[in-house]
């Protein structure tokens, strides 16, 4: 995937490092007037083969969207034994206008799942800044029988947001995973879970919080 795709937006700080000493105590500030430029450094994983992932940024710099066209985990029937788990790691270079920093406030995930009775599935995501010793993760379980669209949201309170360091370029990593377990379902029947729809109407959206850096 091309590394020059633009996004602008807001990422959900689900990390566990310390907050900067200064910052608003509550509420969200307006996004900076200048555009955020996010370049995709790398896209790796069995859920996002080359050319199947797209990133776009909202006009108001409050969210960016990642859309997948081939993110499918499945088990049962004639499924490949390795297809029960799919993952995708996005390594993003986030260029923030001078004097501003950002944090991920929430992340919304959508897709479709068809799970046989006795089967189960899990959607999982982890977030971390380059150089951070900690990785925060969130998981959302689903149980069969299930045959419908699904949605999962990871959220972080304002006081718990972890901000990107001011004046330092740190890549941001998002690692997502889909896992399907046949459980007690019939081995001849397929259970599957997708991230996003093939028509692109459903997408993964990351919402960012903004604040001015001290001394700007």
**Average pLDDT of the residues in 11-38:** 44
Question: What is the C-alpha to C-alpha distance for residues 15 and 135, in angstroms, rounded to an integer?
Answer: 6
Specify the higher pLDDT residue, 17 or 82: 82
Contact present, 65 and 55 (Cβ < 8 Å)? yes
Strand partners, 13: none
- What would the mean pLDDT of 146-174 be, rounded to a whole number? 81
Q: Is the pLDDT of residue 27 over 50?
A: no
DSSP string, 125-193: EEEEETT-S--EEEEEEEESSEEEEEEEEEE--GGG--PPPTT----EEEEEEEEEE-TTS-TTS-EEE
Q: What is the structure's pLDDT at 126?
A: 87
Average pLDDT score over residue span 50-63: 77
Q: For the chain, how many residues are written?
A: 216
Residue 204 pLDDT class (50, 70, 90 cuts) = low
Tell me the C-alpha to C-alpha distance, in Å, between residue 155 and each of 15, 54, 94, 166. 11, 23, 20, 23
Would you state the pLDDT for residue 10? Answer: 33
Percentage helix, strand, coil, to 5, in the chain?
0, 45, 50
Would strands 146-155 and 72-75 be described as parallel, antiparallel, or unpaired? unpaired
**CA 153 vs CA 14, 29, 50, 113, 138: distances in Å:** 12, 22, 26, 16, 9
Q: Say which DSSP state 75 is in.
A: E
Q: How many helices (H) and strands (E) does the chain have?
A: 0, 12
* Distance between CA atoms of residues 90 and 163, nearest Å: 19
Cα separation of 59 and 37, whole Å?
A: 12
Question: pLDDT-based confidence at 15, cuts 50/70/90?
Answer: very low
On average, the pLDDT of the chain sits at 76
**Which residue bears the tokens 């010793």?**
133
């Amino acid at each position: 995937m091309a590394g020059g795709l633009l996004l602008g937006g807001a990422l959900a700080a689900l990390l566990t490092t310390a907050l900067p000493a200064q910052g608003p105590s509550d509420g969200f500030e307006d996004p900076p007037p200048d555009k955020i430029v996010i370049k995709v450094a790398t896209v790796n994983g069995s859920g996002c083969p080359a050319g199947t992932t797209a990133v776009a940024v909202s006009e108001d710099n409050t969210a960016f969207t990642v859309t997948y066209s081939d993110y499918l985990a499945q088990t049962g029937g004639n499924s490949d034994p390795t297809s029960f788990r799919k993952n995708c790691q996005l390594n993003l270079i986030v260029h923030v206008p001078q004097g501003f920093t950002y944090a991920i406030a929430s992340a919304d995930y959508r897709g479709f799942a068809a799970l046989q009775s006795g089967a189960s599935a899990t959607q999982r995501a982890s977030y971390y800044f380059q150089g951070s010793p900690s990785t925060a993760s969130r998981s959302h379980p689903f149980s069969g029988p299930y045959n419908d669209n699904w949605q999962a949201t990871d959220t972080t309170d304002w006081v718990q947001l972890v901000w990107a360091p001011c004046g330092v370029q740190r890549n941001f990593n998002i690692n997502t995973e889909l896992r399907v377990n046949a459980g007690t379902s019939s081995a001849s029947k397929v259970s599957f879970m997708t991230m996003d729809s093939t028509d692109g109407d459903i997408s993964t959206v990351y919402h960012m919080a903004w604040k001015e850096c001290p001394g700007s």
